[in-house]
Structure 1
């Protein structure tokens, strides 16, 4: 079985989870503990970032490289079109989503966490002890480190990210206005990347993540609740309902819950 080394709240990990689910591949999530777990990850991969997959003797880091590996190794339900123009557009959108939605949604979410201690507490994994939850209610910088986000951002950086995401969401709504997919007539890596990476803007409205039910459908104020962007989130919800498996503990999922990292 494929092992996915991840942070539950990492949008790049979610991108890979969505790809694995779309391809119908069984996998086990292994939650990496920030700090000590990342040291173990470095010993295995030479870098400290998630996601990483271990598929037998093959170890692959980086969400884009993981997607390409899975497409080569498991060609059913291909991710990347063979038509040259569609292939180029798919790869271009995937790279754009990584660098724009992926990075800027972290910055914008930091602003939301800074303003709402209840939101900060709610985003901690469900297995977090109450004592730790109490500590992180008031320290947004540290909670982001625990969640794998890194350090905090200035108000200007947060505002700039929010403005850029508004443009991104507007553009996506326009692209999807008369088409069910971003590239061609079937789902591709472009769709799965955009859908998974937008997780932090608005959390999926379903039991897909190991997070409290109270955060489902919630997200960054001004983006997640803006009616102008609801066509995009409705499109994403349809992809989730079609392809994303429910988290362990639901009636329709298989596999084990996240565990402490263990490196062979």
Structure 2
């Protein structure tokens, strides 16, 4: 069985999960423990980033390379069109989504958790002790914003990311106004990339991620709750309903109860 080394809330991991589900491939999720798990991942692959797909003895790194690998070795339900122009548009849009929605989505999520104490508390894994969740929830919003300076998330940077994402969502709404998918009548890698990478803007309204039910349909203020972008998120949720395997189905088909964490042997 294919194995996906991942972070549950990584939008790039979600992009690959959506691709795997679209192709109807069974896989096992392996949750990489930040820090020590990444050391083990480096031992296996020579780098520390997720997602990484393992197929037999082969490790494939990077969500785009994983998509290309899957299309080559598991060609049923192709992701990338053969027509030259369609192929070019698909690859260009996928790259744009990685660099725009993917990167700026993290800043949008930071904006959400820095404004809402209950939101960031709910994002913590269920395994975290309640006393620690309470502590995190009580961290003042202003202090969290100050901490953002340390990772380059200044208020100006976050505000610019939100503004850029508003333009991105407006453009996507226009592209989808008279078409079921971004490049026409059939889904492509462009659709799956845009949909999967958008989870940090607004979490899907369904049981697809290992998150509290209360967070479904919630996201970054000004994006997730803006009626102007509802056509995009409605499209995204319809795509999920059509292709993404819900957690209950995923666990039933793989026998998994939760993602496996990797540690140093």
Shared fold (TM-score greater than 0.5)? Answer: yes
Q: Distance in 2 between matches of 1:221 and 1:160?
A: 14
Change (3 A) 1:6 1:139: farther
Deviations 1:123-172 (A, max 9, x none): 112333323323432288xx9xxxxxx93610000000000000000000
Deviations 1:152-205 (A, max 9, x none): 610000000000000000000000000001113200000000000000000000
Q: Distance in 1 between matches of 2:251 and 2:55?
A: 26
Change (3 A) 1:13 1:255: farther
Structure 1's unaligned 5+ residue stretches are 144-149
Change (3 A) 1:250 1:94: closer
Residue 195 of structure 2 corresponds to residue 195 of structure 1: yes
Tell me what 1:162 maps to: 162
Tell me what 1:213 maps to: 213
Q: Distance in 2 between matches of 1:155 and 1:87?
A: 38
Instruction: Give the count of matched residue pairs.
Output: 258
Is the CA contact (8 Å cut-off) linking 1:44 and 1:263 kept in structure 2? Answer: no
Alignment map for 1:110-259 (pairs within 5 Å)? 110-137=110-137, 138=139, 151=151, 153-248=153-248, 254-256=254-256, 257-259=258-260
Structure 2's unaligned 5+ residue stretches are 145-149
Tell me what 2:25 maps to: 25
Higher helix share: 2
Change (3 A) 1:152 1:136: farther
The more displaced of 179-188 and 246-255 is 246-255
Is the CA contact (8 Å cut-off) linking 1:71 and 1:79 kept in structure 2? Answer: yes
Q: Secondary structure at the match of 1:260?
A: strand
The more displaced of 215-224 and 111-120 is 111-120
Tell me what 1:147 maps to: none
Change (3 A) 1:25 1:54: same
Cα RMSD between the aligned structures?
2.2
Change (3 A) 1:253 1:49: same
